[in-house]
């Protein structure tokens, strides 16, 4: 964790300078909170640090291959999206959706999938092959987007990713899964190293390249560690560990449906927007959602200890 923290923390400043030099910045708009251009490229720092350390610590394992390969695709498409933002344009939704759907198949290539549910002892209720693939893809696709959705306030996505990955680290240790624990620790360190530059007032943003990579990595780690063959109640462990982005998405989609809007339409209906509208500052908003995330994390660990 410390190695990832130090690596990302040191890589961010030169990338920030490069982003400023080439105008690779997130420009203000009516939907944005910031009032001045902020450098992007933070996602590149997190991905590079995580990929290097995972290869160094775990080697060419299925988990490493899944995160590194899928992450590379997401960072690539994210940089294209971020480049459009830097020019004051919007990248179309559907190419991103297609790319995210394609990336959600990558865990299947490496044998990382939701196989079934343990119903006592060594007995397993196995999902049909098609359902295994569909459940895994849906989970990964959803988390890619959910983490992207909450990246709207300085420090929020990075802080929540740190809490979630730290929780998955503890869960993996309790379940005796060292490889998954190492991967979670690397993601936690990278998120915290970036957060040092991203907490309010942010000096750099992670961009879509960073938020989608974090969502993908957390989704894959959760499948490899807990969801692959979970006991019935243990299914809720990763759901709680990733409770803030899941909660935010549920609230936003409900509000959009009630308002008769498309689910993909960008707006200011997210939880952090509501908290800001109620008068909280950015620091207070992020701190409150950190507290919610910490409560979810504790409940996740307590549930695992209870159900075993």
Task: Give a yes or no: residue 42 inside a domain.
Answer: yes
Nearest by Cα to 80 from 99, 107, 54, 65: 99
Burial class of 173 by CB neighbour count within 10 A (0 to 12, 13 to 18, 19+)? middle
As a whole number, mean pLDDT of residues 15-33 equals 80
Does an H or E element contain 40, and which? none
Task: Give a yes or no: residue 301 inside a domain.
Answer: no
User: What is the number of structural domains in the chain?
Assistant: 1
- Give CA–CA dist 9/45, Å, rounded: 8
Query: Among 30-34, 171-175, 208-212, whose mean pLDDT is lowest?
Result: 30-34
Which alpha helices (H) appear in 175-278, and where do they start and end? 178-198, 207-222, 236-241, 243-258, 271-277
- Give CA–CA dist 271/129, Å, rounded: 36
Write the CA distances from 32 to 23, 29, 47, 223, integer angstroms. 18, 5, 25, 33
Residue 246 pLDDT greater than 70, yes or no: yes
| Mean of pLDDT over the chain | 88
Residue 149 pLDDT greater than 80, yes or no: yes
Spatial contact of 90 and 99, defined as CB atoms under 8 Å apart: no
* pLDDT of the residue at 118: 64
- Give CA–CA dist 45/26, Å, rounded: 17
Task: Give a yes or no: residue 288 inside a domain.
Answer: no
Q: What percent of the chain has pLDDT over 70?
A: 88
Task: Give a yes or no: residue 65 inside a domain.
Answer: yes
* pLDDT of the residue at 211: 96
Q: Which one is predicted more confidently, 124 or 146? A: 146
As a whole number, mean pLDDT of residues 124-146 equals 88
* pLDDT of the residue at 119: 61
- Tallying the residues shown for the chain, one arrives at 308
pLDDT band, residue 1 (cuts 50/70/90)? confident
* φ, ψ for residue 38, nearest 5 deg: -120, 130
* φ, ψ for residue 257, nearest 5 deg: -65, -45
Q: Which one is predicted more confidently, 57 or 272? A: 57
* pLDDT of the residue at 271: 86
- Give CA–CA dist 212/88, Å, rounded: 20
* pLDDT of the residue at 114: 87
Spatial contact of 244 and 289, defined as CB atoms under 8 Å apart: yes
- Give CA–CA dist 206/137, Å, rounded: 24
Task: Give a yes or no: residue 248 inside a domain.
Answer: no
Residue 191 pLDDT greater than 90, yes or no: yes
Task: Give a yes or no: residue 77 inside a domain.
Answer: yes
CA 129 to chain CA centroid, nearest Å: 26
- Give CA–CA dist 184/180, Å, rounded: 6
Q: Which one is predicted more confidently, 27 or 160? A: 160
Task: Give a yes or no: residue 25 inside a domain.
Answer: yes
pLDDT tens across 77-116, in order?
999 998 987 887 878 888 999 999 999 999 999 999 987 7
Q: What percent of the chain has pLDDT over 90?
A: 63
Task: Give a yes or no: residue 89 inside a domain.
Answer: yes
Spatial contact of 303 and 237, defined as CB atoms under 8 Å apart: yes
Tell me the residue range of the domain where 185 lies.
2-112+125-229
Rounded to two decimals, what is the model's pTM? Answer: 0.93
* pLDDT of the residue at 231: 57
CA 21 to chain CA centroid, nearest Å: 28
pLDDT tens across 192-204, in order?
999 999 998 999 9
């Amino acid at each position: 964790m410390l190695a990832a923290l130090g690596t990302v923390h040191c890589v961010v400043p030169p990338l920030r300078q490069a982003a400023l030099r080439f105008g690779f910045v997130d420009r203000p708009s009516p939907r944005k909170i910031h009032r001045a251009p902020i450098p992007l490229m933070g996602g590149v720092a997190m991905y590079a640090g995580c990929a290097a350390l995972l290869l160094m610590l775990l080697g060419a394992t299925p988990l490493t291959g899944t995160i590194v390969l899928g992450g590379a695709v997401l960072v690539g498409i994210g940089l294209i999206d971020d480049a459009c933002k830097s020019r004051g344009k919007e990248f179309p939704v559907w190419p991103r959706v297609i790319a995210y759907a394609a990336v959600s198949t990558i865990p299947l290539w490496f044998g990382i999938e939701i196989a079934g549910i343990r119903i006592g002892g060594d007995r397993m209720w196995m999902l049909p092959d098609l359902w295994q693939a569909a459940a895994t893809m849906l989970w990964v696709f959803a988390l890619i987007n959910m983490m992207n959705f909450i990246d709207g306030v300085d420090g929020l996505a990075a802080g929540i990713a740190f809490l979630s990955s730290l929780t998955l680290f503890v869960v993996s240790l309790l379940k005796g899964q060292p490889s998954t624990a190492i991967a979670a620790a690397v993601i936690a360190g990278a998120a915290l190293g970036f957060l040092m530059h991203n907490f309010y007032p942010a000096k750099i943003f992670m961009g879509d390249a960073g938020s989608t990579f974090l969502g993908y990595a957390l989704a894959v780690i959760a499948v490899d560690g807990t969801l692959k063959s979970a006991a019935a109640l243990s299914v809720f462990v990763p759901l709680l560990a990733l409770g803030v982005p899941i909660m935010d998405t549920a609230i936003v989609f409900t509000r959009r449906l009630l308002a008769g809007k498309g689910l993909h339409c960008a707006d200011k209906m997210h939880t952090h927007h509501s908290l800001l509208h109620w008068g909280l500052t950015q620091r207070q908003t992020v701190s409150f959602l950190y507290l919610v995330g910490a409560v979810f994390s504790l409940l996740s660990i307590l549930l695992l200890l209870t159900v075993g």
